[in-house]
Amino acid sequence: MPNIVVLGSGMAGFGAAYRLHAERITPVMYDKNSYHGGHTASFRSDTGFLFDVGPHISFTKDPRIQEIFADSVDQQYETIQINLNNYWRGYWPLHPVQVHLHGLPEDVIVKVIKDFVEESQGPEKPIKNYADWLVASLGRSFAELFPMQYTRKYHLTTAENMSTDWLGPRIYRPTLEEVLRGALSPSAPHVHYITHFRYPSNGGFMSYLKKFVPMGNLRLNHELVSIDPRARQLTFSNGHVTQYDGLVSSVALPDLIRMIHGAPPDVVEASRRLACSTCVLVNIGVNRQDLSRAHMTYFYDEDICFTRLGFPHMLSSSNSPSGTGSIQAEVYFSDKYKPFTGSPNDWIEPVITDLRRCGLLRDDDKILSRGAMLLRYANIIFDLERAAALKTVHGYLDDIGIAYCGRYGDWGYMWTDESFKSGELAAERALSAPVSSR
């Protein structure tokens, strides 16, 4: 049996372990953390509040993945109809805003519809970037008031500096009839790509990994420091050295390339051009449950420090003590566009202040739990440099036989099921590599 090593123990890493398990191979899995799960991990505070590492829900339509995940939690999961909304200048329109304009200022609605009609009836224009796509799809007024503003908060760059490679079903392109109905009536059809989702009944999102853990020989507290692709050797900060026949990696590409002996200068330089956001997660526990009607809220105003809010207690009653609620706020930065400085804890009070400004927290609310964590890698930024840089990096890794996977290995906009399947595909590549290259 080939000696397959898996770097990382998140959703992609365990996707690889699951595929290898089908071949009766138990890979050695290394993780730098003292816990497994990566961004799929969940943590419970001393006060009983459970928070995932970022907002995680499973809304895959793939029946195979649905069944795999359900089996991993012994069929103990919640099925929830999703409710999403937005905050814009004191208004709370439903999501997506483009078909829920009702209740916004009249002059805004008129301008949005006028521009939408003019754009849809005008000549077709070339789409060179995300900004062009937004204007062509939604009209200039809506594009500038909503998604372009959100882009600066979430992606930390401008829509003009982004490609459209990541879009897929993520932003709905409505018809004129849908825009008009959403402007005239408070009710509008549900057109979001998520209609309902599943979430484990107990233990947080991390529970979906439960039955995969025995499929790998897990080695925690092993921080990788170097890879010698010629000798097929890995060295860790604790002095451990090991060989491999096949290597599957979910390590973030800029970190991975930096650790490879002999990586060509052009590859190293390309890896540095890959942009990703950094996220401060601020987790708040409150002494009441009725905090929000939505499971997630998007915030467009640039004077509000957080970009998105989730409410973990609405996903499962086991996520917070009885009678309490919880809020997870996302505050974004980027090494390339808006570097993070200071401590994650510096953002706890600003988040609480802005929660009060929005009316989500009342003056008499009691904060039962507060904390913050820093995610160095959060969301891939699809700027205009990404495609060429990624081609160079992936081409090199293919040449030296490292099978990359996951959001930070594929360097893509991946949902949970996509990350898991990415790990499976990487395992297949490691298995199919010719013996002479091992």
Over the stretch 245-259, which tens digit does the pLDDT of each residue have? 999 999 999 999 999
Looking at the structure, do residues 107 and 173 belong to the same domain, yes or no? yes
Q: Which pTM was predicted? A: 0.95
Alpha-carbon dihedral of residues 420, 423, 429, 432, nearest 10 degrees?
A: -80
Return phi, psi of residue 28, to 5°.
Answer: -85, 125
What pLDDT does 1 receive? Answer: 80
> What Cα–Cα distance (Å) separates residue 337 from each residue in 40, 179, 387?
26, 34, 18
Looking at the structure, do residues 400 and 260 belong to the same domain, yes or no? yes
Instruction: Count CA atoms within 13 Å of residue 322 on its CB side.
Output: 0
Looking at the structure, do residues 173 and 235 belong to the same domain, yes or no? no
Alpha-carbon dihedral of residues 378, 159, 327, 319, nearest 10 degrees?
A: -50
155 part of a folded domain: yes
13: pLDDT strictly greater than 50: yes
pLDDT, tens digit (0-9, with 9 covering 90-100), for 317-349 = 999 999 999 999 999 999 999 999 999 999 999
Looking at the structure, do residues 177 and 100 belong to the same domain, yes or no? yes
Final residue in a domain of this structure, among 169, 184, 199? 184
DSSP 86-123: EEBTTB--BSSGGG--TTS-HHHHHHHHHHHHHHHHS-
Domain CATH number, residue 102 = 1.10.3110
Looking at the structure, do residues 174 and 225 belong to the same domain, yes or no? no
With 0-12 CB in 10 A as exposed, 13-18 as middle and 19+ as buried, what is 341? exposed
Domain CATH number, residue 404 = 3.50.50.60
> What Cα–Cα distance (Å) separates residue 19 from each residue in 16, 23, 59, 290, 400?
5, 7, 21, 42, 22
On whether the CB atoms of residues 64 and 76 are closer than 8 A, the answer is no
∠ CA 142-145-146 to the nearest 5 degrees? 80
Looking at the structure, do residues 391 and 251 belong to the same domain, yes or no? yes
The whole-angstrom separation of Cα 29 and Cα 6 is: 5
The whole-angstrom separation of Cα 256 and Cα 227 is: 9
What confidence tier does 434 reach under pLDDT thresholds 50, 70, 90?
A: low
Tokens at 361, concatenated: 């927290």
379 part of a folded domain: no
Write out the residue range of the structural domain in which residue 13 sits: 4-34+220-270+386-437
Looking at the structure, do residues 179 and 231 belong to the same domain, yes or no? no
329 part of a folded domain: no
Return phi, psi of residue 289, to 5°.
Answer: -95, -30
pLDDT, tens digit (0-9, with 9 covering 90-100), for 198-224 = 999 999 999 999 999 999 999 999 999
373 part of a folded domain: no
Looking at the structure, do residues 105 and 167 belong to the same domain, yes or no? yes
Per the DSSP assignment, residues forming a β-bridge with 326 are: 285
Tokens at 5, concatenated: 């090593």
Final residue in a domain of this structure, among 135, 157, 184? 184
Looking at the structure, do residues 180 and 249 belong to the same domain, yes or no? no
Residues, the chain, total?
A: 438
pLDDT, tens digit (0-9, with 9 covering 90-100), for 125-184 = 999 999 999 999 999 999 999 999 999 999 999 999 999 999 987 888 899 999 999 999
What pLDDT does 264 receive? Answer: 98
Looking at the structure, do residues 101 and 177 belong to the same domain, yes or no? yes
Question: How many CB atoms are closer than 10 A to CB 348?
Answer: 19
157 part of a folded domain: yes
169 part of a folded domain: yes
The two beta strands, 308-310 and 50-52, are unpaired
CA nearest to 206, candidates 74, 63, 78, 38: 38
436: pLDDT strictly greater than 50: no
Number of domains in the chain: 2
